[in-house]
Amino acid sequence: MKIVTIIGARPQFIKAATVSRVIRDRYADKIDEVLVHTGQHYDDNMSKVFFDELNIPRPCYNLEISGGNHGVMTGRMLESVESVLLQEKPDWVLIYGDTNSTLAGALAAAKLHIPVAHVEAGLRSFNMRMPEEINRILADRVSTKLFCPTEAAVVNLQAEGLTRGVHNSGDVMYDAALFYREKAKSQSTSLEEYGLTKSEFALATCHRAENTDDPERLGRIVNAFGSIAKTIPVVLPLHPRTRKQLVDYGLTDMLGSVKVTEPLPFLDMVALEQAATVILTDSGGVQKEAFFYGVPCITLRDETEWVETISTGANLLVGSSTSAILAAFDDVAGKARQVIRETPYGAGDAAGKIVSLLAENKS
């Protein structure tokens, strides 16, 4: 069996690492995996270092497609992925998450009548202004196998009339959290590098278009970061797009004493997530990692597809209001860490379930 895996962004590298490891370790004689990197995240900090740290095989194809508006990027990816699929003639195309790379892979495969398997199917924010929401809905519609990370995702698909080929596999991100947490603690020197003390700093990220492309929202968020940095250190690994927008909007001075860094290697980020007293983020992956590591999280969005983190009380959804962010920080900064004994995201064996279902071609 041949599987073509389409990846392009940091979260997808992490997810793909768990599945690719199972393929190599348990199914090397049955499955030939062809990795295709679209290039959506292209520089060393956003891409190459992840392949090194996660021990992901070098992509067979690197399409080097990045930048441009959504339509331009997705269209170029669609054309290039189609060429790869025509050459490789796979049995399955495996896609992850909700990026433009996800959508391009799904559409290219569907138009060639190649079955699509979607990891992280069924997630919904119910906000159609989010590019990710459009991507995930369309990807689910053309997928043959839909691997849901939670029961809530299964219910979302049922509400849309999608029941065939749907599996609650659990979340491959939980697999990754369990696999890399101790490795990150032992190998990362990020705490020492940034002069941080465990449980005495905040970790922040901000990259979603709904925040970065709106100067008022971004201004309120960075104002909150700057205010929090007056009480405890705040570390902000900065996405290239966010960095550009801060400069273009003239907002950099509002960050005050925030420790701004380049995007961090995966193990450094995991080490800081585990050691932080609180995490402030608009990233879906970071929300979950905060939950997995028992660290209070404040989500800088108006809605989230990871509803389980909210219902358990581990995550506060606050939007972009400076006052709401600061109030949430005051509420959670002193709270004790949670000990995660059971999660709605499975038992840490999602990748094994996914590969088994693909290898045995179970419906």
| Three-state secondary structure of 49-114 | HHHHHHCCCCCCEECCCCCCCHHHHHHHHHHHHHHHHHHHCCCEEEEECCCHHHHHHHHHHHHCCC
User: How does pLDDT run across 150-162, given as a tens digit for each residue?
Assistant: 999 999 999 999 9
My answer on whether 108 and 218 are in the same domain is: no
pLDDT at 28 over 60: yes
My answer on whether 260 and 212 are in the same domain is: yes
Query: How is 234-260 classified by DSSP, letter by letter?
Result: EEEE--HHHHHHHHHHT-GGGGTT-EE
341 lies in some domain: no
Query: Domain holding 47: CATH number?
Result: 3.40.50.2000
Nearest 5°: CA angle at 186, between 180 and 191?
A: 100
Query: Which residue in 91, 31, 122, 115 sits closest to 355, CA to CA?
Result: 31
User: How does pLDDT run across 178-226, given as a tens digit for each residue?
Assistant: 999 999 999 999 999 999 999 999 999 999 999 999 999 999 999 999 9
| Contact between 107 and 113 (Cβ < 8 Å) | no
Q: What is the pLDDT of residue 277?
A: 95
Q: What is the rounded CA–CA span in Å between residue 95 and residue 28?
A: 20
- DSSP code at position 153: H
Alpha helices in 126-239 (DSSP H): 131-141, 151-159, 172-187, 190-193, 209-212, 215-228
- DSSP code at position 31: -
Q: What is the rounded CA–CA span in Å between residue 206 and residue 6?
A: 25
My answer on whether 132 and 93 are in the same domain is: yes
Q: What is the rounded CA–CA span in Å between residue 50 and residue 17?
A: 9
| Contact between 62 and 19 (Cβ < 8 Å) | no
Which helix (H) or strand (E) covers residue 270, if one does? helix 266-275
My answer on whether 234 and 206 are in the same domain is: yes
- Host domain of residue 65: 2-171+346-359
Alpha carbon 233 to chain centroid, angstroms: 25
176 lies in some domain: no
pLDDT at 332 over 70: yes
* Structure token pair of residue 170: 């659990």
My answer on whether 245 and 304 are in the same domain is: yes
274 lies in some domain: yes
Q: What is the pLDDT of residue 41?
A: 64
My answer on whether 228 and 144 are in the same domain is: no
User: How does pLDDT run across 119-171, given as a tens digit for each residue?
Assistant: 999 999 999 999 999 999 999 999 999 999 999 999 999 999 999 999 999 99
Using CB atoms within 10 Å of the CB of residue 139, give its burial: 0 to 12 exposed, 13 to 18 middle, 19+ buried.
buried
My answer on whether 237 and 165 are in the same domain is: no
Confidence of residue 43 (pLDDT cuts 50, 70, 90): low
- DSSP code at position 6: E
Confidence of residue 50 (pLDDT cuts 50, 70, 90): low
Catalytic residues: 207
Nearest 5°: CA angle at 208, between 44 and 323?
A: 125
177 lies in some domain: no
Q: Which amino acid is at 255?
A: L
My answer on whether 223 and 109 are in the same domain is: no
Query: Which residue in 194, 94, 152, 174 sits closest to 347, CA to CA?
Result: 174
Close Cβ partners of 67 (under 8 Å, ≥ 6 residues apart): 73
| Contact between 262 and 237 (Cβ < 8 Å) | yes
| Overall domain count for the chain | 2
Which helix (H) or strand (E) covers residue 275, if one does? helix 266-275
